[in-house]
Amino acid sequence: MKGEFPGLADGWHYLDSAATAQKPQVVIDAVTRAMGGDYATVHRGVYARSANMTLAFEAARTKVAALIGAPAEELVFTRGATEAINLLAYSWPDKGRVLLSTLEHHSNIVPWQLAGWQVDVCPLTADGRIDLDAAEAMLTPDHKMVAFAHVSNVLGSMLDAERAVALAHRVGAKILLDGCQAVARLPVDVAALGCDFYAFSSHKLYGPTGIGALWGRAELLDRMAPWQGGGAMIERVTFAGSTFAPPPQRFEAGTPAIIEAIGFGAAADYVRAIGLQAIHDHEAALVAELRAALRARNDIILFGPEESAGIVSFAMDGVHPHDLGTILDEEGVAIRAGHHCAQPLMDHLGVPATARASFGLYSDSEDIAALLRGIERTRRIFG
């Protein structure tokens, strides 16, 4: 598997896939073709190359939508999950209270604050999952939106999404799932989940940076006003006023990220062919292996639930996560050390930072062995 990823060709033990995933050659090839011999603009050209590019761009939308069980016309291309959540927070017509959780990424906190929502925070269970019993007690008809991470980027905790959806809908709220970490490591079917919106990024899904998606049910996207004006999102423009295209184009002002979209489509096809359940099972086995090895040491604190999706956060007694990360780097092992854009969660855990190892479909036991050797060397250095 690692052989398909040029970024891993030098034997690097890359354990930071939750930050961004390495790219398989098929995605790189798709991007190279789109930027090279196939390149032209989309939607406007009357010449054949542009018409073909438009077909490829819209085919990419279909592939990405299919990955989450959605029709293409309900999938808005954005710059990433961050922009997807900002779009929803600004454009949803019925603003009021939004229920978030303690473990959210800053990109699922700050947009709601900036767009003028009143933010309520659902606490976590002792093992670091969103406490849906608490959510049930907190939700009122004043809540217009619930926005929860489907998988935590720090703890790997998996949300019981069906229950969260039922709780939101019971009080008449809509629910957004931040699927940034989930789409790359869980089978996702938005129709089966029954959620209203789903946000994710291509670069965590083995695709290019600079593109992501907001999926929303058609009748809900229809209710949303444009948020950025420009080309491609209009129906008719006069100085007296303008009318707007239907979704998804209404939310895609300007020349789109054509090359990135095609790479995103190739990445969606790539993971679908391998199978998200297979990827999840592979990563879950690695999580169990790493957690067991870390638990066997008496100088490591493990965070998060035992059952987690591809992500393990921990702290090492007497060693700052940044020092651990630096020593591991010397050993050719890349982990993440920091607050992981989840400062409220760090406050809750009572630490300024954690060390985080996160897996991808290419990760293996050799990566874990290298990490454990690096931890042992760090212990010897710090005593």
Q: Has 341 been annotated as catalytic?
A: yes
**Per-residue x/- track, 186-205, ligand PMP (CB under 6 A):** ---------------x-x--
Q: Is 153 in the site for ligand PMP (CB under 6 A)?
A: yes
How do beta strands 333-334 and 13-14 pair? parallel
Q: Is 256 in the site for ligand PMP (CB under 6 A)?
A: no
Residues 312-351 that bind ligand PMP (CB under 6 A): 341
Q: Is 156 in the site for ligand PMP (CB under 6 A)?
A: no
Provide the minimum distance between the beta carbon of 302 and ligand PMP in the complex, in angstroms, as a whole number.
20
**Among residues 177, 108, 166, 160, which one has the least CA distance to residue 136?**
166
> Exposed e or buried b for every residue in 279-296, given b needs 16+ CB within 10 A?
bbebbbebbebbbeebee
- CA-to-CA separations, 341 to 106, 158, 190, in angstroms, rounded: 5, 18, 26
Provide the minimum distance between the beta carbon of 198 and ligand PMP in the complex, in angstroms, as a whole number.
12
Q: In terms of CB distance, is 14 or 379 closer to ligand PMP?
A: 14
Check if the beta carbon of residue 41 is closer than 8 Å to that of residue 255.
yes
Provide the minimum distance between the beta carbon of 153 and ligand PMP in the complex, in angstroms, as a whole number.
3
**Per-residue x/- track, 205-234, ligand PMP (CB under 6 A):** -------x----------------------
Candidates 28-36, 176-184, 239-247, 343-351; binding stretch for ligand PMP (CB under 6 A): 176-184
Alpha helix stretches (DSSP H) within the chain: 25-35, 48-67, 81-91, 110-114, 132-138, 161-170, 190-193, 218-222, 258-274, 276-295, 321-330, 343-349, 365-382
Candidates 163-171, 174-182, 347-355, 368-376; binding stretch for ligand PMP (CB under 6 A): 174-182
Could you give the CA distance from residue 105 to residue 342 in angstroms, rounded to a whole number? 5
How do beta strands 174-178 and 197-201 pair? parallel
**Among residues 209, 261, 198, 252, which one has the least CA distance to residue 63?**
261
Provide the minimum distance between the beta carbon of 149 and ligand PMP in the complex, in angstroms, as a whole number.
5
Provide the minimum distance between the beta carbon of 118 and ligand PMP in the complex, in angstroms, as a whole number.
21
Q: Is 107 in the site for ligand PMP (CB under 6 A)?
A: yes
Element holding 314 (H helix, E strand)? strand 311-316
Q: Is 82 in the site for ligand PMP (CB under 6 A)?
A: yes
Residues 9-38 that bind ligand PMP (CB under 6 A): none
Check if the beta carbon of residue 179 is closer than 8 Å to that of residue 150.
yes
Q: In terms of CB distance, is 180 or 300 closer to ligand PMP?
A: 180
Could you give the CA distance from residue 85 to residue 341 in angstroms, rounded to a whole number? 15
**Among residues 73, 67, 107, which one has the least CA distance to residue 87?**
107
Q: Is 80 in the site for ligand PMP (CB under 6 A)?
A: yes
CB count within 10 Å of CB 52 equals 14
Q: Is 63 in the site for ligand PMP (CB under 6 A)?
A: no
Report the C-alpha dihedral over residues 347, 349, 353, 358, rounded to 10 degrees: -130
Q: Is 181 in the site for ligand PMP (CB under 6 A)?
A: yes
Candidates 101-109, 237-245, 353-361, 368-376; binding stretch for ligand PMP (CB under 6 A): 101-109
Q: Is 81 in the site for ligand PMP (CB under 6 A)?
A: yes
Q: Is 76 in the site for ligand PMP (CB under 6 A)?
A: no
Which residues are at the interface with ligand PMP (CB under 6 A)?
Answer: 80-82, 105, 107-108, 149, 153, 178, 180-181, 201, 203, 212, 341
Q: Which residues participate in catalysis according to the annotation?
A: 341
